[in-house]
Structure 1
């Protein structure tokens, strides 16, 4: 009888121990959930990233139900200046290393920026090519109506480089502050041709037609991304940057016409 009582006591002790271990496991799970990102993550991103980042933001939110991604798209040069002036943002994605470097030099970046994609220029013409544009040489003529990005923004700097390589002095009728504004001129038929990124031509679908030119391969823009030092939501910022560098994101960028590392 004593042996049975002793065995019963031992079994009960084991049950209590197992129960405590189970409680410890639940606490661990709860702690892990508490570490998940939440809140709003504000992303300043180059205008040429509009479509891809919106798609990726939706996927990021699906993977992190407690997070809302908010964007400010525009010229990388303008976004960099806003960050240096103290605009509240968590992440900066630039269409050129030079604009990212301005933010780095101002001490506004956490860690080192990482290149996640690259892009190159393409000639965009309205559907049907009413201006009969054949190549880059047409940008040196006064007859067609032409649009370019302002030289201080990445698409404008890339355009300047290709014109120098080709030995062409461009004759633009308008210079716009970001690549989406340039593309709009084409889709509305206000110009006969413009230089935009090939990803913008693809994103426009059948509204415009694209014409490749060989010099574009000599003025490729690298796109760096980084969390910001004064990010209001540092944890979500780090998670978003990691997501943009992931294989899942690379597939989205490739599908949109970007090159990826």
Structure 2
């Protein structure tokens, strides 16, 4: 009964988001089994039209576009998820640390974050990737460091409202260690806003990686990636072929789906009722 009541309380937009996200996860996990051809396999001439052998035609090198899009889900989403998780590990830890310890620690961390946030994120990512190279590891590390400043601000703000409560003071008087306060007392009480922020941050990271790949500084060929696929096949738009728009549509659909779910999560966390 409770499950049925909960299911009825979820709006249609959130259900749509859940279904789309689950579909993307399925494709990302099972791309090698779903794709009709290999990720790097050249299977025909350049820019072949849609047909029975190649449902979405071929790209600029003669690779099957459908297969590339399916593998692109694994690469683009996987790297974006890894970068988002690392972003939250850094941002949440430092935010909770600043809120709990206060004083000079809070001041130093907050001023460093202020300086980093004063630099436009996209420009900073372009500059750093140009300097250190465009490997996947470098891209994940740079994006995580830059995006963690946003997570730090959220984590610090919500944690500051928790650290002044009585149960935190009681834990301090018991002599609990800092790690216990962070993990067992504060973190469980701020999971709702952080979960919503995780969804939003994933969208930003996902779009940032796609934009970097479109400019040639993200995921490098021959790895399938939706951003680079738009760039590689952009010439088809001149001839009225929508094939280059398909990876862009895949990016847009996932972004919309995640935002639907995040909006519902924020609505529930706020305690407001329809």
Q: TM-score, normalised by structure 2?
A: 0.29
In terms of Rg, which structure is larger?
Answer: 1
More helix by share: 2
More strand by share: 1
